[in-house]
A and B are shown apart, each in its own frame.
Chain A
C-alpha cells in the first residue's frame, strides 16, 4: 500500500498543501526550517496516530489556528484506503474510508510506517527506555496481538505495583501477590516472546545493513537482555519459567522497594560492534547513526516478511552525516521496492536517480513539484 495523495491544512508551518507522490522514492529538498520535517511528521501522524516529535498535539496546528486537517489516499493493486484526521481545540475526528472514529488510536496499524530521524541517535546513546519504545512501536505494527499483550501486561504491572506499595505499609497477603505475579508473567512472557522472535528475525538484516553502510568493515549484532541476561529466541513456556525464577529471587527486594523490578518494562537491547564492543559506549557518532538506521531498515524487512507488503518509509535528513559512499549504499538499498519519503538539504544527492524519483522543493510551508 502506498501513499498516492496527501493533503494538509494548518499543520505546523503549512497553510494548505496537496501533493501527488511517487510510489517509489520522493525527495523533499529545501533549506532548513522550510517545512520538510513537518511534512514527514504530518504523514506519520496520519498513519501512527501520533507525532514523532511531541506528545502534545496542541503544538501541531499552525500559529494562531485551533486545529489542523490531514488526508491521505493510499492505494495498492486491490484496494484503496482513505485516512483523515482533523482536530479543533481538544476535539479530534478520525475518518477511515469515510467512517468516523472518535480516537486517533484507530489510525494506528492501517498503513505500517517506519521512521528515521536524526534524533534516532538516542536509540543507541540513551537509556533502555528508547530501545523499548523502538520495539513497542514497531512490534505493535508487526504482530497485531503485541499491542493487546502489552496493554494487559501494563495493567497487571500497575496492579502488582499497587499491591507491593501496600506491602511496604505492612499489609501482606502473599497469596494475593502470587496471583498478580502470575498475571504479570502470563502477559509479560507473551510480550518478551514476541520481542525475542522479532530480534531473531531482524538480527541478520541489522548486521547486513550496518555492513553495507560501513563498506563491509564492521559487523553489528543485536541481542535481547531479559532481566540483565542476554537470551536467544525462546518458547513462551521457557520465558515464563525464566521470569518466574527471577521474580522469586528478587521478591524481597521488590517488597522493600515497593515496585516490580523484573519484566519487559525493565528489559533492554544490547548492540555489539564486531561482536565485542558495546555500541552505546564505544561507537563513534557516525557508527551509532549507522547502527540506528540499520535497526530501522531491518524493521522494514521484518514488516515485508511478516505481511508480504513493505511499509511506508520516512527518512528525515539521513544524509546529513554520511559520507558519499554511505549515501550511495543507502540509496541502493532504498531502490528495493519500499515507498520512501526523504527530506534533505542537498538535492544533488539524488540527481542520478531517474524516473523512479519524484522531487519536491519545500519553501516556507509551500511545496513545489
Chain B
C-alpha cells in the first residue's frame, strides 16, 4: 500500500492525501477495473511515441495530423506542449499542421533553445513549403520570450510569422478583467 501511495503522489496535481484516497479507492475497486486501468497505463506508455515530424503524441509516426492530405500543410502552428495541440483541435477552427516545442525558454529551469525542438522547426521551414507560421505559445513571460526568439530566427527566412491575439475571454465581464489583459486587448483591437 505504501509503495502505491508514494507512486501516486509523484503524479502532477496529486498530494499525499489524494494519493492515499486513490490508493484506498483502488483497493476496494473490482480486480477487472484495476486491471483495465493498469493495462491502459502500460499501453499508453508502450504504444505512444512522438511524431517524427511535428512532435505530437501518436501511436504511429508520422501522426494522423501530419498524414492528413485534407489539412493545409503550408500553415504551421507552433505550440509548447502536445496538450496544446489537443486544445487547438477542439476549436475545429484550425486546419493547418503543428509543431510541438516540448517546452518554453526558461533559463531558471535550464531550458534554452537547445532543449526545444527549434532545429527541427528550422528544417521544416527550410523546405520552402511553409507559407505562414502561427506562434501559439502560452501568454506568460516564458511563452512570450519563446515567441520573440522564434520570430527573430524565422523572419530572415521570409516566412510570414503571426501570433495568437491576446484579449478578452468570451462570456466575461469587462469590469472584472485585470488591467494588463484589458490593456493588451485595447492594443490588439480590430476594425469592424
Contact = CB atoms under 8 A, between A and B. Distances in A.
Q: Is the interface of B mostly helix, strand, loop or mixed?
A: helix
Nearest to A149: B180
A155 B141 contact: yes
Contacts of A176: 105, 107, 112-113, 149
B141 A152 contact: yes
Interface in A156-193: 156, 158-160, 162-163, 166, 171, 173, 175-176, 178-180, 182-183, 187
A149 B148 CA distance: 19
B55 to A, nearest CB: 21
B112 A148 contact: no
A183 B112 contact: no
A94 to B, nearest CB: 20
A163 B141 contact: no
Interface in B132-165: 141-142, 144-145, 148-149, 152-153
A160 B107 contact: yes
A175 B114 CA distance: 13
Contacts of B107: 159-160, 162-163, 166, 176, 180
Interface of A: 144-145, 148-149, 152, 155-156, 158-160, 162-163, 166, 171, 173, 175-176, 178-180, 182-183, 187
Contacts of A171: 112
Contact of A145 (B113, B153, B180): B180
Contacts of B112: 163, 166, 171, 173, 176
Given A162-B108, A178-B152, 10 more contacts: A159-B108, A159-B145, A171-B112, A173-B112, A173-B113, A176-B105, A176-B113, A176-B149, A182-B148, A183-B145
A163 B152 CA distance: 19
Given A166-B107, A173-B112, A173-B113, A180 B178 contact: no
Given A162-B108, A176-B112, A179-B152, A144 B141 contact: no
Contacts of A179: 105, 145, 148-149, 152
Q: Which 5 A-B residue pairings sit nearest by Cβ, starting from the closest? A: A162-B107, A163-B107, A145-B179, A162-B108, A179-B149
A156 B183 CA distance: 20
B106 interface: yes
B141 A159 contact: yes
A321 to B, nearest CB: 40
Nearest to A182: B148
B141 A156 contact: yes
A179 B153 CA distance: 12
20 contacts: A144-B179, A145-B179, A145-B180, A145-B183, A148-B178, A148-B179, A148-B180, A155-B141, A159-B108, A159-B142, A173-B113, A175-B153, A176-B105, A176-B107, A176-B112, A176-B113, A179-B105, A179-B148, A179-B149, A183-B145
Contacts of B178: 144, 148
Contact of B149 (A144, A145, A175, A187): A175
B153 to A, nearest CB: 7
Nearest to A162: B107
Nearest to B106: A159
